[in-house]
Amino acid sequence: MSQTPSQMIHLVRFPNESPEYRASRNKLLEAEMALRRQTEDVAAMRRALPAGGRIPQDYVFTEGEDEKPVRLSELFGDKSVLFLYSYMYGPAMKQPCPSCTSILDGLDGQAPHIAQLVAIAAVARSPIGRFRAVAEERGWRHLRLLSSAGNSYQPDYHGENAKGGQLPILNVFKRGPDGNIHHAYATELLFAPDEPGQNARHVDSIWPLWGALDFSPDGRGADTHPKLSYA
C-alpha cells in the first residue's frame, strides 16, 4: 500500500527499495527520532545535576618525560570543566586493556576538538613512563597523559577496586567561580544492575567502535572485542 504525503516522514528514497523496506525503515526512523529526543532529554538532566562532592584533595599526578608533578586543579587550564578517563593499565598488568586502548585511540583524535570547551586527560595507575610508551606505540599525539601511581585518585573515583583491579570510568569535574572543584558526573552505568541482553555500555558515547558497528545489519557481533594489534 502506498503512503499518502501526510503519512510520509520524508520524501527521500533509495534505488530499487521495496515498499516493505520503506515501511520498516519508517518505523525504525520513528524510533530513531524518539531516541534522539530521549538523548537530548538525558543530556539536559545531566547538565542540570547539582554539584557533586568537593574533591577531597588536590591530587598530584605525574606527567611528561621528566615526570613532573601536576595538580588536578592545574589540569583545567583556562577551562571550567575537566574530563578524566581512567585507563585500565595498572603496574601489575603486562599490557593495557585493549578496550580502553580502543577508546583512547578515538579520543586522541578528538581531543583538540573537545578542548575547545573542556580540558581532557587520561590517567593510569602505572608509572608515567609505561603509559607514555603505550602512547608512543599507538601514535597518540593530543591526549594529556597522567600517572596516578603516587596518589589515591583511582580508588577514590572508582578507577580501581578494593583488590587493585583497574576499572574503566570517565569522571567529570567542575571548577566554580570561587575556585572550588566539585565532582560533576561519572559514567555510573558501569555499576548499575545487569539487564538481560545488555552490557554496561557506560562509555559508549565516547567510544566510536560500537556506534559505527551499530549501523551494520550484522550488529556488533557477539564475539567482537578490540585488540591491541590486528597483524
Q: Determine the pLDDT at residue 6.
A: 45
Is there a single domain that holds both residue 112 and residue 155? yes
Average pLDDT over residues 95-111: 96
Q: Determine the pLDDT at residue 231.
A: 84
Task: Calculate the dihedral angle through the C-alpha atoms of 168, 185, 131, 134, rounding to the nearest 10 degrees.
Answer: 60
Confidence grade of residue 19 (pLDDT, cut at 50, 70, 90): very high
Question: What is the domain count for the chain?
Answer: 2
Give the orientation angle of helix 98-114 with respect to helix 128-138, to 10 degrees.
Answer: 80
Residue 206 in any domain: the answer is: no
* CATH code for the domain of 149: 3.40.30.10
pLDDT exceeds 80 at position 121: yes
User: Is residue 33 classed as helix, strand or coil in its secondary structure?
Assistant: helix
Residue 30 domain boundaries:
14-45
pLDDT exceeding 90 applies to what percent of the chain?
A: 85
Q: Determine the pLDDT at residue 15.
A: 97
Which element (helix H / strand E) includes 104? helix 98-114
Contact in structure between 182 and 176 (CB atoms under 8 Å)? yes
Cα–Cα distance measured from residue 24 to residue 28, given in angstroms and rounded to the nearest whole number: 6
Is there a single domain that holds both residue 177 and residue 68? yes
Cα–Cα distance measured from residue 145 to residue 126, given in angstroms and rounded to the nearest whole number: 11
Confidence grade of residue 3 (pLDDT, cut at 50, 70, 90): low
**Phi, psi at residue 119, to the nearest 5°?**
-80, 150
Is there a single domain that holds both residue 109 and residue 184? yes
Query: Each residue of 125-177: pLDDT tens digit?
Result: 999 999 999 999 999 999 999 999 999 999 999 999 999 999 999 999 999 99
Query: Each residue of 202-214: pLDDT tens digit?
Result: 998 999 888 898 8
Residue 208 in any domain: the answer is: no
User: Is residue 34 classed as helix, strand or coil in its secondary structure?
Assistant: helix
